[in-house]
Amino acid sequence: MRVLALDVGERRTGVALSDLLGLLATPLAVLKCASREAEFAAIAALVEKHQVERVVVGYPRSLDGSIGPQARRVDRYVERLKPNLTVPVLMWEEQFSTVQAEQLIHETGRRVNRERIDAAAAAVILQSYLDSVAANRAPARED
């Protein structure tokens, strides 16, 4: 199952895509559209082009677990996004995804820029989701 992930920001949205088996996340793109409607159309086009079966959106709760202004903004974004897509959209907890993405980019020795971080953050969110799905599918191990 192919999954697309979004790291929604005020100016840009990072996008990541899973492999066909739904095991590995890879940064795909950064969307910088003139309007949210244009962004939703671009996401719908990516869903169709890559035959995505589910969209995962990073949900930024506050450190204390509460729903702050950023999470409320993502709530509104998702409610506006859903009618534009033919696949399920779910929110996935994303704490420190941007920090993790920046560290991963540093480790590769590549130049760090905001766009690269946004797409990598979406990949961090997606990998967390994929790992959780895989762990729940794995049969119990007997020792």
CATH class of 3-137: alpha beta
Structure confidence by residue, pLDDT tens digits, 56-84: 999 987 777 788 888 899 999 999 999 99
What gap in Å lies between CA 99 and CA 126, rounded to an integer?
15
- pTM for the predicted model, two decimal places: 0.84
Q: Give the full edge-to-edge strand order of the sheet including 89-93.
A: 25-31, 13-18, 3-8, 54-59, 89-93
The whole-angstrom distance between residue 16's C-alpha and the CA centroid of its chain comes to 6
Please state, as a whole number, how many other Cβ atoms lie within 10 Å of the Cβ of residue 89: 18
- Structure-token match 């590549």, residue found: 110
pLDDT, position 51: 97
Structure confidence by residue, pLDDT tens digits, 33-60: 999 999 999 999 999 999 999 999 999 8
